[in-house]
Structures are given as C-alpha cells and as structure tokens.
Amino acid sequence: MTETATVVELAKRRGYFFQSSRAYGGVSGFYTYGPQGAALKENIEDTWRERFTLKEGNFEVDAPIVMPEPVFEASGHLDGFDDMLVECPECHASHRADHIIEDNTGIEEAESLPIPEVENLLAEHELTCPNCGADLAGQAIEEFNLMFQTSIGPGSSQPGYLRPETAQGIFVEFPQLKEYARNQLPFGVTQIGPAYRNEISPRKSLLRLREFTQAELELFIDPEEDEPALDVVRDVEAPLYSAEMQESDDGEPVTMAIGDAVDEGIISDAWVAYYLGLAKQWYTRIGIDMEKFRFRQHLPGELAHYAADCWDAEALVDGDWIELAGFANRGDYDLSKHGSYSDEDFTLFKQYDEPKHVERATVDPDMSYLGPEFGGAAADIGEALQTLAERDRSAFDGDSVEVEVDGEAYEIPSEHVNFEVSEETEAGEHIVPHVIEPSFGVDRALYTVVHHAYREDEVEGEERSYLALKPEVAPTFVGVFPLTSKDGLPETAQSVATELRERGLSVAYDDSGSIGRRYRRQDEVGTPFCVTLDADPEGTATIRERDSTEQVRVDLDELADVLTALRTGERTFDTL
Ligand code: ATP
C-alpha cells in the first residue's frame, strides 16, 4: 500500500475522516470527519484562533455562506473564477486540463497558461484521459466556473452563490467592521468557516474538496504608514523557494531567517514576511514536519493581477508538494471593487497630523445659458467642465473652454463657466485601505498533520503503527485503563476518567482486551498518554508515553495536575 492509502485506511478505521453519503454511493469532494477527526480539526482551529486572532489583537466574525450575486460580480468570481475543463470524448469523464499537463509533463503551474496553449500541449504531448486512456488531442477546453449556484427565496429572480472563500464575507462588511475598529488602521478580521468550490475533479482525499474549511485573516492597513512588527519573526528560520530559485536549473529552497530574507529582498513585502514567520511557527506547533515544508513564491505568470508578491506554504505529502496556505498583499483591489459596485463607503477617513491648506479648482456653469444652448447635453457638459477643472486649470485661461461629451466637442464662453480657484483647509482624506491576506486551508493542514505523524515501529517484537500527534492537538489526550476487572480497579479507573474530563481533558476509557491491545488502539489514534490503574501499590497509576512507550508511576492525587501540565506543555514526559 502507498503511504497515502495506508493513512486513508487508518483515518477511516479509526474515525478521522471518510467519504460522505456512502449509503447512497458517495459523492466526490465531500468528506465527513469522524469523532477523532472532528476533535483534531477543532483543536487545530483553536490553535490558529489563539495565534492569528487573539494574540494578534484581531477580531473574528462569522458571516453567511450564501451571498447574493452582486457580491461576486464585484469580487470578480462570477467572471474569472474558472478552471480549465476538458471532457474525454470516449468515457465523458471531466478533467482539469492543467492538472493533466502538470502530471504528465515537466511543466509546472499550467493553470496560468492561456487556453489555446493548453490545447496545443494536450496534442503535442499526446496526452490521454486518466480514466480510460482515450486520446485528448483536439478536445476543446471550456472555462468552468467553480461557484455553486443557488436561488435565494422562491423562484429564480435572486441568484445566490455559496462563497468560494471566506474572505468575501469580511470584505463586504468593511463599512460596518471599520466602525468596530473605531476607524483606526491597521486592524485585522479573521474568519474560520466553510468555503465551496465545485472542483472539476476532486482528488486525493481531503486535499481537493468541494466543501472545505478556510481560516482567513484580512489585515487592513494604511500602505503609507503601517509596518509589521518584523522583529517578532526576524530570527524565525524558514525554507524559502523564491521565483528565482525555481527558475534556475539547480534551484533548491534555501533555509534562512525571515529578517535576512527581507533585508536581501528575497521577500519583498514585509507584511507577507511577517505572516510567513508566524505561519512557520504555527505549522511547527501543530505538527507539520519541517523537513517536508517550504514557502514557495508565486512565479510571475501565477500572480493574481492585483498582487505584487505572493507566497504559498507547501508541504510534501507522499512525494507531492501541496499548497497549504497563501500569503498575499492584495493592495486596494477588494475594497475598491466593492466601493465602486455598491453604494456603501469602503474608504476610511485618515486624519492628517496637521491640517493641510489646498487649492481647489471649481466651476459653477450657468445652466440658464447651457440649457437653451445645448439642450439634453447640458448636464453632461457641466460635469465635464468640473472634471476638466480638477485635471487641467490652464484650459480655463482663454475666452472659451472646450470639452468633449460622447465624442462631440462643445465650446463654452468663459463668462458662462464661472471658473474659480479657492483655498481650503483639509483635516484629512479618504483612503482605501490595502489588504494583507494570509489564507489557510484547515483540511489540507489536518491531512498533512496526520500524514506527517504516521509512524511504524516494533514494540516487544510486534509491529505497531501510530500517529505521533502533538499533545496540544491530539483528539484524544489520554486513555484510561483498569489493568484487570478485579480489586475495584474499573470503579477507580472510571472515577479517574471522570476527574480528568472535569479538568477539560479528552479521555478514552477502555477496559476491553489485553492491555497491549488497548495501548495499540490508542497509539493508532495518536493518543499521547495512557494511564493504567493497577492495585500495586494502592493510590498510584502508571502514565505511559505513546512514542517511547516508557512508563512512570505517579500518585493518583497528582495525576490530574501532571496530565494537565503535559497537555499545556508546562511539563514534558522526561521530567516526570
Ligand atoms: P489550488 O491552487 O490548490 O486550487 P488555490 O490557490 O485556489 O488552491 P486559495 O484560493 O489560495 O487556493 O485558498 C486558500 C487555501 O484554501 C489553500 O491554500 C488551500 O489550503 C485551501 N483550499 C483551496 N481549495 C481547496 C479545495 N478544493 N480543497 C481543500 N482545500 C482547499
């Protein structure tokens, strides 16, 4: 079995995750988290919340999943959120053309290539349907929009869409959110929740889902004033795979301190660098293997048109690099778009340190002249005069002014224009904040954590497989077992389990089968510690550590305190 097949089998058997709706044949791209998986997911989300919301002083929101069509007209998703669909002429299976190219040629990031080029590549490389092997040369590629559409209310007059990213639920509420931030930049808003994409070919278990969970942070900044606290992450070492390294023949990622990478211009945006540093620490904390991790810069052709620099966090899973998260400076793209498509104010008033004196050029056209003279065009001429005054004052120097409306030139005598330059005092200006966006996929993080935690070894001559999950995220923290069913041990063990649960620990009580079998079960689930109650000496129990399988004996009175300290990381097992 491949590593992936082994992990996916274990995940299903031990209650981590499995394909949904199996009773009705299952449907690709939808997964259910079982008891262990749901708890692991929640623990991962809690650590993210602790790091990216609480510790950063940001605030979290919870927006609806269904949003009306105008939101996605403004965001660009309605027009541009497409993947390249190619259908097999024989078996009619749908595939992503760019993925077929990437999987079968040395070409990377085929997603950024134009469609005609992708069609040519399919023919040139004689690529075939992964399902039935039919030739795909000559097949037309279609642009397939990834959003799930629905109707809001009865009838179809109000189309809605399931959000394809959590971010839009933050952007559209900016006019309200800025009030909560008392109109002060920078401020950050986070959201953890489901996002939906009608992926053409969901694959690799949790890696490409149609419903998945994102944890996103939108930081609103004044690009001219705000700077990150780079010192917090200056010394964080991270493997960086810049565009230049990727493009050179023998390019390999280089591990370096975030601060040095900024100083050397490898990461050009200090805000992006700041979040790469935090992300490296967070991924380490939840148990991603740093030997199988890197930050990869987007290649020029991959960059979204509004992003100046963008990096992805990537992990190696069973031989493939997968994207875990994206980090981008999105400029003023999102707020400007919503500002121009909606009637709300997506700007923020920025007070100057000192009021500024400015000259303002205005016109006050004489409509009693323009109306009779130019008829229906009069109002547009008035507007054109004002625009011209703001742009080019010298146009008003002569006896008449010329403006163009709908391709036609109009000449207006200066005495009917009333051009004036006046001095005004301004306290500040309206600016459109820029957005820094770290966007994390929770499912891909969870999947990678489980993959990277999978281990096989031998214990007392027997093969064992286990998940070396970090105690902080492990879904079950401690197994509690009575050694035998005699001497009141089950009752004592039950009361220990109850006490530990009351202390907020996640406990699995197990009294069936040999003690070795019980240990193996918890090892496979990834439970870091097991407590066994025996009668000798009374008032004590053993704590066994999963990875080393070593045991220490502790007094029952101290058990809950010791385990709590192990959970929070205040103590390590070696110090017991
Ligand atoms: P990909 O190129 O793999 O489709 P993306 O660049 O479109 O991903 P983003 O829009 O940047 O992804 O979304 C942010 C994060 O959300 C990704 O890094 C990933 O972890 C997660 N994500 C995106 N699409 C999916 C999906 N279909 N299934 C699971 N997670 C996803």
* Model confidence band, residue 569 (pLDDT cutoffs 50, 70, 90): confident
CATH of the domain at 481: 3.40.50.800
Cα 215 from Cα 62, distance rounded (Å):
11
Residue closest to 559 by CA, chosen among 486, 502, 512, 515: 502
Q: Which two structure tokens, joined as six digits, stand for 398?
A: 């002569």
In a domain, 91, yes or no: no
Provide the residue type at 122 as one letter. L
Q: What are phi and psi of 8, to 5 degrees?
A: -65, -35
**Tens-place pLDDT, residues 86-103:** 999 999 999 999 999 998
Where is the domain boundary, 397, 426, 455? 426
Question: Are the beta carbons of 30 and 21 closer than 8 angstroms?
Answer: yes
Question: Are the beta carbons of 393 and 464 closer than 8 angstroms?
Answer: no
Q: Which pLDDT score is estimated for 518?
A: 96
Instruction: Count CA within 13 A, CB hemisphere, residue 404.
Output: 3
In a domain, 117, yes or no: no
- Give the CA radius of gyration of the chain: 31
Shortest-distance Cα residue to atom 1 of ligand 1: 323
3-state class (DSSP) for residue 466: strand
* Whole-number average pLDDT of the chain: 94
**Tens-place pLDDT, residues 170-225:** 999 999 999 999 999 999 999 999 999 999 989 889 999 999 999 999 999 999 99
Pairing, β 187-196 against β 59-60: parallel
Q: Which pLDDT score is estimated for 544?
A: 97
**Residue to mutate (ligand 1; options 272, 444, 449; most atoms within 8 A of CB):** 444
* Model confidence band, residue 563 (pLDDT cutoffs 50, 70, 90): very high
* Whether residues 521 and 422 fall in one domain: no
* Whether residues 207 and 67 fall in one domain: yes
* Whether residues 316 and 375 fall in one domain: no
Report how far ligand 1's centroid is from the alpha carbon of 442 (Å). Answer: 10
pLDDT at 308 over 80: no
- The mean per-residue pLDDT over the stretch 480-504 comes to 94
Ligand 1 pocket residue status of 205, Cβ below 6 Å: no
Report how far ligand 1's centroid is from the alpha carbon of 109 (Å). Answer: 14
DSSP 226: -
Please state the length of the chain: 576
Ranked by mean pLDDT, the top range of 156-160, 244-248, 292-296 is 292-296
* Whether residues 324 and 359 fall in one domain: no
Report how far ligand 1's centroid is from the alpha carbon of 310 (Å). Answer: 14
Ligand 1 pocket residue status of 325, Cβ below 6 Å: yes
**Tens-place pLDDT, residues 367-416:** 999 999 999 999 999 999 999 999 999 999 999 999 999 999 999 999 99
Helices (H), 344-486: 367-374, 378-391, 442-453
* Whether residues 320 and 403 fall in one domain: no
In a domain, 30, yes or no: yes
pTM for this one?
Answer: 0.89
Ligand 1 pocket residue status of 208, Cβ below 6 Å: yes
In a domain, 205, yes or no: yes
Cα 256 from Cα 279, distance rounded (Å):
15
In a domain, 115, yes or no: no
> Where in the sequence is the domain holding 394, given as residue range(s)?
354-426
Count of domains observed in the chain? 3
CATH of the domain at 26: 3.30.930.10
Question: Are the beta carbons of 301 and 112 closer than 8 angstroms?
Answer: yes
Report how far ligand 1's centroid is from the alpha carbon of 576 (Å). Answer: 42
Ligand 1 pocket residue status of 214, Cβ below 6 Å: yes
Residues 6+ apart with CB under 8 A from 121: 101, 105, 107, 110, 113, 127
Question: Are the beta carbons of 31 and 206 closer than 8 angstroms?
Answer: yes
**Tens-place pLDDT, residues 312-327:** 999 999 999 999 999 9
The enclosing H or E element of 398 equals none
* Whether residues 329 and 358 fall in one domain: no
Q: Which pLDDT score is estimated for 75?
A: 95
**Tens-place pLDDT, residues 514-555:** 999 999 999 999 999 999 999 778 889 999 999 999 999 999
* Model confidence band, residue 250 (pLDDT cutoffs 50, 70, 90): confident
Closest atom of ligand 1 to 111 CA is: 2
* Whether residues 263 and 324 fall in one domain: yes
In a domain, 173, yes or no: yes
* Whether residues 195 and 66 fall in one domain: yes
Where is the domain boundary, 396, 426, 456? 426
In a domain, 123, yes or no: no
Q: Which pLDDT score is estimated for 413?
A: 94
**Tens-place pLDDT, residues 17-74:** 999 999 999 999 999 999 999 999 999 999 999 999 999 999 999 999 999 999 999 9
Compute CA distances 336 → 76, 430, 460, whole Å: 12, 12, 65
In a domain, 133, yes or no: no
Residues 6+ apart with CB under 8 A from 328: 272, 304, 307, 309, 310, 311, 436, 437, 439
Shortest-distance Cα residue to atom 10 of ligand 1: 165
Q: Which pLDDT score is estimated for 180?
A: 97
Q: Which pLDDT score is estimated for 315?
A: 98
* Whether residues 263 and 401 fall in one domain: no
* Whether residues 392 and 304 fall in one domain: no
